[in-house]
Amino acid sequence: MLGEDHSLLSEFPEFKDVIFSLSANNEVFAKDALKYDSLDKEIRELELSGSPIDDVAMHELKHQRAELKDSLHQRLVNGN
């Protein structure tokens, strides 16, 4: 679905407390979480404005978001 919110808290509400804790206490996690949410916002805005970039560029943004999401999820599961 276009324009769907894939923010970290939306994707992993069960890890809300862990997300807040790691964001406050782990600089690398906090930086990656901000980057993830920024990428998600950029993708959502592009989708809602009719994707004014080519398909390859959009695919690359979504690929970066997916890789970052996988990495963040692994850290959430491990609590670090």
> Mind listing the pLDDT tens digit of every residue in the chain (80 residues)?
566 889 999 999 999 999 999 999 999 999 999 999 999 999 999 988 876 888 899 999 999 999 999 999 999 999 87
Place of tokens 């979504």: 62
Q: Which residues are CB-contacts of 41 (< 8 A; sequence separation ≥ 6)?
A: 7
Distance CA 77, CA 54 (A): 35
Q: Model's pTM, two decimal places? A: 0.87
